[in-house]
Structure 1
Amino acid sequence: MPKSTAQIQAVSGPFTSRPGKHIIDEFKAHVAETGRPDVWRYHDPSKPPQDQDFEELCRFSIPEKKRMDVGMASCPICSPISPKYFDGALTWFPKEGVLRAIGHECAKAHFGAAIANAAVAKRKHREAIEHAQDFLLETLPQIAGAREETSALEPIAQKIDLLRQTLWTKTSKLACEKLARIGARGYLAIEVAEEVAAVDSYGKETTRRSTRVVATYSVSGLGFLRQRFSVVGQARNTALALSKVRAADPDAALEFVTSELTQDDYLFQAEHLARSAINELAKLRQAVVEARTFFAPGNLLALSDWSNDYRSGAPVIITFDPRFPARISIRCSKRSASTIPLPDCFR
């Protein structure tokens, strides 16, 4: 049986092994600057044999701002001397040792779906590995600090839960949630009803009722009033998630990722644990920021001015005097006022 073209063709190009990231980055920079992938210095314009395996190195697009000037790029597979595509893939052909920029829809027709899909799958798998490695190298040196931060935030989280529960108890949970909904867009308004004289289409005088906004107050952090999860529980979940991730300095992280996570399953599992821990910490941070934002003096003063205006119809009335920043007074329509002290961490 005669050998295929791919089998008898000797490697003649410069890329006997997969090119490194610096080569791919150079190609991307060239496309961004010129819009001409087909004139890049390493691009091979020859038509590849149909039975040859290849790998996708990256997907790319000719920039919109370049398209009017340079038009489409030529494709070695089906259109080597005329315009063919705006979106393509940089590909590596190991048996030839060359790189080709091809149209993104051309590979299946030329090589068949099996070879083309395998090339795409290899690229996606390789990118997933690189993303996981990069994430771990960036994240592992942060784990020790994240654990210290979580430990410091836990007592604050306890105070947040206690304050929210006190607000719910002294007014009502439904009233607090209603206030949070009213201010969800970042402001609270005072509206007044008006009657405006008008004449209808038949010439008859009539009165029309409308509302007019006479004042607005910028507010934030109202999500604190309706949080359903325990913040101290979130702190403990974060601590548990962080305990499953190895803390390492940059050198130790590099050694761990490159030497101990050589199997893909181990690498992806380590990435998953690290991402979960970082996501838990982000949720904890957000809960603390929201509570501190709610109890900021400027925010409490806006809530006080709005809710104490009889026209507001406020479900919860908050009274705050900047001269006494260590406390607030709260009430709702069916209950008497209660004074709530504010911990130092919220002042």
Structure 2
Amino acid sequence: MDGSALVVYPIFNERPSEEYIQGWHRHMDETGSPETYENVSTNKPDALENVVLLSGELQVPPAKRLGNRLVPCPICSPTTPKFSKGRMAWFPDEQTVRFIGHDCAARHFGENYRIADRRYKIEQRCRFYQHMWRNFEPRIDGLEQFIDALMPVAKAVQFTREHLDGNADGFAAFLRGELSRHDGRIFIKEDTGARDRGQIIFSDVLLGVVDGLTFISRNFRPHSTLLSILDVCADIRMPLPTWQPIDGDNDTAKEIIGRGRRAEWMLKTLRSLRDDIQDATQFLRDKNLALLEQWGRNDQSPFISLVFRWEGIGVHLRAETYVGAYYCNMVVLDDFYGKPIPSALSPALDPLTSTPV
């Protein structure tokens, strides 16, 4: 391309429409030539301030380009091939749009580019959360029903854990520290009968695996977490404020991003919390407690003595360890095992993984 072939179209006195930008994307995907889309300027811009980025970093499909496989950069190399990855940009002071090399723009625009990139990321987050809110609308009832189904077991599990912490403070942390070394696997050393220069050779023998370690995990409070999740659901039922990209990084954008992040936290937490609750209920199973007592009788365990078993409708704990003694008659509510735990969160209820509405 020679200098005479450069074009300028100063017709964009407003931000290009979404239809125009989508058409620009399609043209690039189909032809590999984003610079040839209608009304795209290819000359060097005079005003580098106030640039507005209209896309993220886009990889141009080189196989679809005629001739040269690189795109000329209107910033530093408007007549010769330069880059294969760039961004769509609007120059409001010149009322033009260009496809610019992202590295060149960052180098030549300096702080102006960093500001534009930050604004674009804010715009994308706002758009994402607006879309997520629309997807929430037909699903929020189902999400709350899923939460309600988890609530009885979560409340019972938290009650028992708090009862343990209140009466045998430090035991959960002590046991967690001992068991987390091998992800719940308990090993004891056995004499192999072999000797090396008179030294006994030991082998590690697996005594068993303790299930349900979530029950003794740090700050495990599933009922409190579900209540916080319900608070977020109540907020999701309230519409987001009206915002458009032209509004920029205003208080409305900050509100949308703040509420959107809370909604993302809610979904991420809810996906894992159901599995955590189910895992926690395994900790007080007879087989699990029997394994811990068996370990406690072994001279290699951290226990001087350990009684940890069901007695009636509760669990009796009496432990002497090298760091102290612990005692608790743990109260276990009926819902600990009496209520079914729902299946994993259905993808159809997840606005981030289900088909957009």
TM-score by length of 1: 0.64
Equivalence map 1:12-161=2 (5 Å): 17-21=14-18, 24=21, 36=32, 41=37, 44=40, 46-51=42-47, 54-62=51-59, 72-93=70-91, 99-107=97-105, 112-113=109-110, 116-117=113-114, 119-139=116-136, 142-143=139-140, 155-161=152-158
Q: Distance in 2 between matches of 1:241 and 1:59?
A: 30
Deviation at 1:46, TM superposition (A): 2.3
Deviates more, 1:137-146 or 1:187-196: 137-146
Please name the residue that 1:206 is paired with: 198
CA gap 1:295/1:209 in 2 versus in 1, 3 angstroms:
same
Q: Is the 8 A contact 1:157 1:232 kept in 2?
A: yes
Paired amino acid for 1:181? G
Q: Is the 8 A contact 1:193 1:211 kept in 2?
A: yes
Q: Is the 8 A contact 2:160 2:332 kept in 1?
A: no
> What does the per-residue CA deviation read over 1:171-194, in whole Å, with 9 as the maximum and x for residues that have no partner?
x33332222233335331222143
Paired amino acid for 1:126? E
Paired amino acid for 1:47? N
Q: Distance in 1 between matches of 2:191 and 2:30?
A: 61
Q: Distance in 2 between matches of 1:286 and 1:114?
A: 41
Task: Return the match for 2:169 from 173, 197, 215.
Answer: 173
Q: Distance in 1 between matches of 2:38 and 2:286?
A: 63
> What does the per-residue CA deviation read over 1:126-169, in whole Å, with 9 as the maximum and x for residues that have no partner?
32432342233334555555556556655544422321134446
Q: Is the 8 A contact 2:72 2:82 kept in 1?
A: yes
Please name the residue that 2:334 is paired with: 343
State the identity as a percent: 19
> What does the per-residue CA deviation read over 1:259-292, in whole Å, with 9 as the maximum and x for residues that have no partner?
9xx8942353255245436636865775564243
Please name the residue that 2:251 is paired with: 265
Deviation at 1:247, TM superposition (A): 1.8
Q: Distance in 1 between matches of 2:172 and 2:62?
A: 51
Unmatched runs of 5 consecutive residues or more in structure 1: 1-8, 199-204
Q: Distance in 1 between matches of 2:272 and 2:328?
A: 30
> What does the per-residue CA deviation read over 1:52-99, in whole Å, with 9 as the maximum and x for residues that have no partner?
664211232538998xxx965432322245443354222234577764
> Which secondary structure does the structure 1 equivalent of 2:237 belong to?
coil
Task: Return the match for 1:187 from 157, 167, 184.
Answer: 184
Task: Return the match for 2:161 from 164, 187, 190.
Answer: 164
Q: Distance in 2 between matches of 1:341 and 1:44?
A: 70
Please name the residue that 2:301 is paired with: 313
Paired amino acid for 1:212? D
Q: Distance in 2 between matches of 1:283 and 1:109?
A: 40
Paired amino acid for 1:265? D
Paired residues in the alignment total 314
Unmatched runs of 5 consecutive residues or more in structure 2: 1-6, 339-357
> What does the per-residue CA deviation read over 1:268-325, in whole Å, with 9 as the maximum and x for residues that have no partner?
325524543663686577556424312238976345335424447265654579xx9x
Q: Distance in 1 between matches of 2:316 and 2:116?
A: 66
Q: Distance in 1 between matches of 2:307 and 2:39?
A: 70
TM-score by length of 2: 0.63
Please name the residue that 1:202 is paired with: none
Q: Distance in 2 between matches of 1:230 and 1:294?
A: 11
Paired amino acid for 2:301? G
Answer yes or no: is 1:247 the counterpart of 2:243: no
Deviates more, 1:120-129 or 1:279-288: 279-288
CA gap 1:222/1:29 in 2 versus in 1, 3 angstroms:
farther
Q: Distance in 2 between matches of 1:298 and 1:33?
A: 61
CA gap 1:275/1:22 in 2 versus in 1, 3 angstroms:
same
Paired amino acid for 2:169? K
Coordinate RMSD, CA, aligned? 4.8
Please name the residue that 1:301 is paired with: 287
Q: Distance in 2 between matches of 1:52 and 1:285?
A: 46
Paired amino acid for 1:89? R
Q: Is the 8 A contact 1:180 1:223 kept in 2?
A: no
Q: Distance in 2 between matches of 1:281 and 1:44?
A: 41
